[in-house]
Amino acid sequence: MLFFRVFFIVFFALIFESASQAAAQDNVAVSFDEVMAFMGTKPKPDVTKNGIGIYVYDGMYALDAINPYQVFKSAGLKVFMIAQKKGTITTSSKLTINVDKSIDEVDKLDILVIPGGATEAAAQTKDTVILDWIRKIDKTTIYTTSVCTGAWILGSTGLLKGKKATTHWYRAEEMLTKYGAKYQKKRWVQDGKYWTSAGVTAGADMSLAIVLKLFGKDYTQAVMLDLEYDPKPPVSYSTTTPKVKSIMEYMYDYYLLPFVKTGELGGEPVM
């Protein structure tokens, strides 16, 4: 992408003079030095020492991990996937991701991202090995974050207690209250070092908000331009009818309501 490909810089240097003359007809002319200085912008605080790790697992929602990964990559940051064990994980949509770092190999991160899922995310809240690892990593992170129901996993560590947070809309307040968090009906929320985002696509917004915090407005807009990120869906999410919402909630309840109500997995569907 624009901010990390070395070949792009070399290519740009070779063609800059002729390209800048043509571009200046419609855009503000910039010098090669200005471009290089802009691309060399450093994040504050520095999140390049230990990098950004995205914890991934079987059954997670693919975009919960891929959206932040792409945003941070486009910003030129060091970002990688981490799983409980090296190898291939399979997302809920059957997309496979090869992971070459295990939690045993990662002791420190500058930013931790925890994606969500459905029953698989619920299972992660019971995995003491993962919860202990998250607590350990959190001791040295600059930011600890979650996407969607990743907040359930983060909440299970006790780290969201007393914090403002958001998560996927499904029984959001009920779930976050269980973890001692204060639910905010927002696209993303920052409370100190903790960042949480609502369902799936909101992870992109949260990641851009982190880029804004690290680099400032101009650099963030450059990342957005690189991604051509300017969502305009064909219909409005905010005008979803009560009937459609009830249908969706019914579907989620079938699989997840036993966990929501009892905190246990594998119970009979509650209808």
pLDDT digits (tens, 9 = 90+) for 1-13: 554 444 444 434 4
Phi, psi for 175 (deg, rounded to 5): -70, -45
Q: Compute the mean pLDDT over every residue in the chain, rounded to the nearest whole number.
A: 91
- What pLDDT sits at residue 170? 97
Domain membership of residue 229 (yes or no) is no
Phi, psi of 14 (to 5 degrees): -70, -35
pLDDT at 188 over 60: yes
Residues 142 and 21 in one domain: no
Query: What is the spatial distance between Cα 216 and Cα 120, in angstroms, rounded to a whole number?
Result: 36
% of the chain exceeding 70 in pLDDT: 88
Residue 234 located in a structural domain = no
Over 90: is that where the pLDDT of 269 sits? no
Residues 162 and 119 in one domain: yes
Q: Is 232 part of any domain?
A: no
**What's residue 20's pLDDT?**
47
Cα distance between residue 215 and residue 219, in whole Å: 6
Q: Per the domain annotation, does 199 fall within a domain?
A: yes
> Is 165 among the domain residues?
yes
The pLDDT, as a whole number, for residue 267 is 52
Same domain flag for 110 and 76? yes
When pLDDT is averaged across residues 238-250 and rounded to a whole number, the result is 95
Residue 46 lies in a domain: no
| Residue 171's CATH number | 3.40.50.880
- pLDDT of res. 22: 45
Q: What is the pLDDT of residues 192-236, one digit of tens each?
A: 999 999 999 999 999 999 999 999 999 999 999 999 999 999 999
Let me know whether 88 and 192 are in one domain.
Answer: yes
Which tokens sit at 89?
Answer: 């994980």
Two tokens at 20? 């800048």
| One domain, residues 176 and 110 | yes
Based on the domain organization, do 20 and 104 belong to the same domain? no
In a domain, 259, yes or no: yes
Same domain, 195 and 246: no
- Do 168 and 128 share a structural domain? yes
To the question of pTM greater than 0.85 for the whole model, the response is: yes
Least Cα distance to 56 among 130, 104, 114 occurs for: 114
Same domain, 117 and 199: yes
60 and 156 together in one domain: yes
Sign of the dihedral defined by the CA atoms of residues 178, 152, 237, 143, in that order: positive
Asked if the structure places residue 1 within a domain, the reply is no
The answer on 62 and 13 residing in a single domain is no
Residue with tokens 């992109």: 204
> How do residues 106-150 score in pLDDT, each as one tens digit?
999 999 999 999 999 999 999 999 999 999 999 999 999 999 999
Could you give the number of structural domains in the chain? 3
Same domain, yes or no, for 67 and 30?
A: no
Answer whether 32's CB lies under 8 Å from 167's CB. no
From the list 148, 165, 175, 223, the catalytic residue is: 148
pLDDT in tens, 33-92: 999 999 999 999 999 999 999 999 999 999 999 999 999 999 999 999 999 999 999 999
Whether residue 148 lies in the annotated active site:
yes
Enclosing domain of residue 259 = 239-271
